[in-house]
Amino acid sequence: MSTGDQQHARRHPVAALIIAAGLAALAGVMLWDSARLADMGGYSGVGPASVPRVVAFCILGLSIWTVIEGFRGDFRHPEHQRVSPVLWVIGGLAAQLLLLHPAGFSIATGFLFAMVARAFGKRNLAMTLPIGIALSFVVWVIFSQLLMLHLPAGPLERLFFPGG
Amino acid sequence: MGAFDFLLQGLATASEPMMLLYALIGVTLGTAVGVLPGIGPALTVALLLPVTYRLDPAGSLIMFAGIYYGGMYGGSTTSILLNTPGESASIITALEGNKMARKGRGGPALATAAIGSFVAGLIATLMLAFLAPWIVKVALVFGPREYFALMVLAFVTVSAAFGDSALRGLTSLFIGLALACIGIDQLSGQARLAFGVPELLDGIEVTTMAVAMFAVGEVLYVAGKSGQEDDKVEAVKGSVWMNRQDWARSWKPWLRGTAIGFPIGAMPAGGAEIGTFLSYATEKKLSKHPEEFGEGAIEGVAGPEAANNASAAGTLVPLLTLGLPTTATAAIMLAGFQQFGLQPGPLLFATNPTLVWGLIASLLIANAMLLVLNLPLIGLWVKLLTIPRPWLYAGILLFATLGTIGANPSTFELGMLLAFGVVGYVMRLYGYPIAPLVVGLILGPMAEQQLRRALSISQGDWFTLVQSPVAAVLLLIALLALVVPLIMRARGKGQVLSQLAADED
């Protein structure tokens, strides 16, 4: 693992710089937003823009602190991560998001289920996808029909519950 | 009426059949999520928030408290049999407990954990009941500036005082505070950081944030690590009962663990972990068999498990009496109160005593239920550990997204879930704690309101914040809690603090 450690060692400041840049961007957005608020301080002298401004300046400070820590090499390097399972999980969530309204809860969540199972090693989507859809449908029936939760219905749900 | 009468009344409320059912559901779910790796009580309560929206408030809150207590019990089972703590407060239990299980003494280890949790839960809940009215009396004279000071103290202790990096804790806290600013300002009605997106006007849903951070972030992190060797579940061999020597070696650690855990939970210090570490160190020092530590000493299971449950009860003291959450689970439970239009704090004891005392009394009942659920039925819980990982994590995300969709079936909400899930993943990669973010998101708006109220009363004079002795002392403690650990770390004494690291739940 010595080569891996060296790679990590070189990556530290980069990771710290990226995080610091993200924090600075967040602070920038907050300052920009608070600048357009009418500051009606009233009696207190503290209006709606004050707290976001203070928080933004603290985040700027933390961003600078992150850069310093990054260059001091204090930044903890992440454990080794495999990229493809992470992408499968993200893909599954994205698929659910895109399918939820056109295809309904069961089909969308079935895709999520199968793709997450794929990330953890169940590679046969032809098996996991039907299982996922069936399971999601059972969940949909329990939660939308019995517990009255609002879950989007699609063709599959309307097939069994035309009214729902 | 004294605390005792209130408690008896509460017991009457809590032993209504419906309430008993809610408590039973709560402790069963809690034990299950405590046993399962990857989900903790904070996430479970967050998932149940939309489901309980239409249910009875008292029953729902009793269920949430049952989940909290159950999670603390269930975590020990995973630590002992799998060596992978199911939730962060059980890390220490894994040290000695798993060694005992490997030696075929898993039964007594589970028994001392369960009975120790029961003893600690019982004593700590009674302490909660007798302490609460006193704190309520004190808190009634608190004004906005005292509350603001208390919240600042909670912010500091949750984010910066413990853990291995003040920078990471504070960064996590301030991201939470930044997200808390999103939405319509409560005092002036102006939209902040909404960028014309109507979904953002209500602010960021606590449920969405908790599910993203605890479920999506965690699953992404575990997925990235997957492919490494699987942990082996130790079978429970022999009797689950403890022999005479086990009892003799267990009862003192139980009591000491309770005495250590409760005050730590009750102070706004955050995290049940700290108490377990202190209890472990104490037992190691006092034990007559120090050579057994690291090889499976029963004291090392009994003490920390008792401390862990006692601090769970302790956490409810600031939550119920002051409305101040000091752990992620308590923060989500606060969101649960708010969902029913209830604000925990001194006034709730006056306006809704049946609910508060019913809740406290139900903890006693839940505790007894947990003992029954955990000892004779242990085989059932062990089976949960054998669920294959792909099904487990796919199922976790199924229910996690169900909670979010149930609260608000919009694509935008799911997009936020995904985005914050990735944020939670990156935070885990680089060792950022999650709890400060959640506490910041929930307490941020309350702290801002109290601050602006205090300044309105004083007509903009900032010195008002330190002119009340209570507020001044609280702010001073907060300052010390921020500065002293920084100096300790700079002098290379950071190991002590990183051992006390407070983690997610």
Residue B504 within any structural domain of the chain = no
For residue B505, being part of any structural domain is answered with no
Q: Is B465 helix (H, G, I), strand (E, B) or coil?
A: helix
User: What are the chain B neighbours of A122 within 8 Å (beta carbons)?
Assistant: 388, 390-391
- Quote the pLDDT of residue B388: 85
B104-152 pLDDT, tens digit each = 888 888 888 889 999 999 999 999 988 888 888 888 888 889 999 989 9
Structure tokens at B359: 């809740």
Least confident of B39-43, B237-241, B355-359: B237-241
| 3-class DSSP string for B192-205 | ECCCCCHHHCCCCC
What's the average model confidence in pLDDT over B299-328? Answer: 87
Residue B503 pLDDT? 42
Banded pLDDT at B23 (limits 50, 70, 90): very high
**Do B411 and A97 make contact, defined as CB atoms within 8 angstroms?**
yes
Q: How confident is the model at residue A77 (pLDDT cuts 50, 70, 90)?
A: low
Radius of gyration of chain A from its Cα atoms, rounded to whole angstroms: 24
Stretch among A131-135, B32-36, B397-401 having the lowest mean pLDDT:
B32-36
Residues B16 and B12: their CA atoms lie apart, in Å, by 7
Question: Does the pLDDT at position B496 exceed 70?
Answer: no
**Percent of chain A residues past pLDDT 90, beyond the cut:** 40
Quote the minimal CA–CA distance from A99 to chain B in Å.
Answer: 9
Q: How far apart are CA A99 and CA A154, in angstroms?
A: 10
List of chain B residues whose C-beta atoms are within 8 Å of the C-beta of residue A17: none
Chain mean pLDDT for chain B: 84
Contacts of B300 (CB under 8 A, 6+ apart): B92, B95, B96, B97, B280, B283, B284, B293
Contacts of B223 in chain A (CB under 8 A): 82, 85-86, 88-89, 116, 119-120
CB of B335 within 8 A of CB of B49?
Answer: yes
CB proximity under 8 Å: B 157-186 to A = 165, 167, 170-171, 174-175, 177-178, 181, 185
Q: Write down the pLDDT at residue A2.
A: 37
**Average pLDDT, stretch B375-379?**
80
Lowest mean pLDDT among B2-6, B81-85, B222-226, B399-403: B81-85
Name the residue range of residue B256's domain.
3-228+235-499
Q: Are B33 and B44 spatial neighbours (Cβ–Cβ below 8 Å)? A: yes
Question: Is any Cβ of chain A less than 8 angstroms from the Cβ of B225?
Answer: yes
Query: Model confidence over B448-473: pLDDT tens digits?
Result: 989 988 888 888 788 888 888 889 99
Nearest CA distance, B172 vs chain A (angstrom): 10
- A 94-153: CB under 8 A from B: 94, 96-98, 100-101, 105, 109, 112-114, 116-122, 128, 132, 135-136, 139, 143, 147-152
Report percent pLDDT > 90 for chain B: 15
Subunit contact A97:B219, Cβ cutoff 8 A: no
Q: What is the pLDDT, as a whole number, of residue B297?
A: 84
Chain B interface mutation, best of A8, A32, A55, A131, highest count of B Cβ atoms under 10 Å: A55
Inform me whether the C-beta atom of residue A69 falls under 8 Å from chain B C-beta atoms: yes
The pLDDT of residue B423? 94
Q: CB-based contact (8 Å) between B223 and chain A?
A: yes
Q: What is the pLDDT of residue B433?
A: 85
Is residue B181 assigned to a domain?
yes
What's the confidence (pLDDT) of residue B271?
A: 57
Closest CA to B257 of B111, B85, B399, B121: B121
Q: Quick check: B239 and B107 in contact, CB under 8 A?
A: yes
Buried b (16+ CB within 10 A) or exposed e, B32-61: bbbbbbbbbbbbbbbbbbbbbeeeebbbbb
* CA dihedral angle for residue B112, residue B116, residue B117, residue B122, rounded to 10 degrees: 150
CA angle B425, B429, B431 (to 5 degrees): 115
Contact B405 A105 (CB under 8 A): yes
CA A78 to chain B, closest CA, distance in angstroms equals: 5
Query: How many domains does chain B fold into?
Result: 1
Q: Transcribe A103-152 into DSSP letters.
A: H-HHHHHHHHHHHHHHHTT---HHHHHHHHHHHHHHHHIIIIIIS-----
Rounded Cα gap, residues A101 and B409, in angstroms: 9
Does B460 contact A at CB distance below 8 Å?
A: yes
Confidence of residue A94 (pLDDT cuts 50, 70, 90): very high
State the average pLDDT over residues B383-400: 86
Rounded mean pLDDT, B11-29: 90
Asked if B425 has any chain A CB less than 8 Å from its own CB, the reply is yes
Mean of all residue pLDDT scores within chain A: 83
Q: B401 — contact with chain A (CB < 8 Å)? A: yes
Q: B474-496 as b/e, with b when 16 or more CB fall inside 10 Å?
A: bbebbeebbeebeeebeeeebee
B411 touches chain A (CB under 8 A): yes
Cβ atoms < 10 Å from Cβ of A123: 11
Residue B37 resides in a domain: yes
- Residue B184, classed as helix, strand or coil, is strand
B326, HSE (Cβ side, Cα atoms, 13 Å): 32
Residues 6+ apart with CB under 8 A from A131: A113, A114
- Convert the pLDDT of each residue in A83-92 to its tens digit: 899 999 999 9
Provide CB contacts within 8 A for A35, sequence distance 6+: A49
- Average pLDDT value for residue range B278-292: 83
SS3 sequence, B101-141?
Answer: HHCCCHHHHHHHHHHHHHHHHHHHHHHHHHHHHHHHHHHCC
SS3 B278: helix
Residue type, B74: G
- Output the CA angle A141-B22-B37, nearest 5 degrees: 75
A15 vs chain B: nearest CA distance in angstroms?
A: 9
User: In the predicted model, what is the mean pLDDT of residues B247-263?
Assistant: 88
Query: CB of B95 within 8 A of CB of B284?
Result: no
Who among A40, A56, A89 is closest to B223 (CB)? A89
B333-338, long-range: CB < 8 A, 24+ apart:
B333/B45, B333/B61, B333/B64, B333/B65, B333/B68, B334/B442, B335/B46, B335/B49, B335/B206, B335/B207, B335/B442, B336/B45, B336/B49, B336/B52, B336/B60, B336/B61, B336/B64, B337/B61
Q: Note the pLDDT of residue B12.
A: 87
Distance from B429 to chain A by nearest Cα, in Å? Answer: 5
Q: Which of A14, A44, A69, A112 to mutate: most B Cβ within 10 Å?
A: A44
Whether residue B187 is predicted with pLDDT greater than 90 in this model: the reply is: no
- pLDDT tens per residue, range B216-253: 998 898 888 866 555 666 766 666 677 888 888 888 88
Sign of the Cα torsion B35, B41, B47, B52 reads positive
Lowest average pLDDT, out of B198-202, B362-366, B494-498, goes to B494-498
CA distances for B230 relative to B61, B226, B351, angstroms: 37, 9, 52
Check residue B246 and give its pLDDT: 84
Asked if the structure places residue B485 within a domain, the reply is yes
Please give the residue that has the higher pLDDT: either A38 or B213: B213
Tokens 């910041």 sit at which residue? B440
Q: How far is CA B110 from CA B80, B236, B495, in A?
A: 7, 9, 30
Does residue B119 sit at the A interface (CB-CB below 8 Å)? Answer: no
Disruptive mutation site among B53, B448, B482, B498 for chain A (greatest number of A CBs within 10 Å): B448
Residues of A whose CB is below 8 A from B219: 89, 116
Task: Give chain A positions within 8 Å (CB) of B417.
Answer: 93
The H-or-E segment that residue B183 falls in is strand B183-184
Residue A158 neighbours by CB under 8 Å, 6+ apart: A104, A164
* B434-447 confidence digits (pLDDT tens): 888 988 998 898 89
In sequence order, the 6+-apart residues with CB closer than 8 A to the CB of B423 are B175, B212, B213, B217
A vs B: CB pairs below 8 A = 195
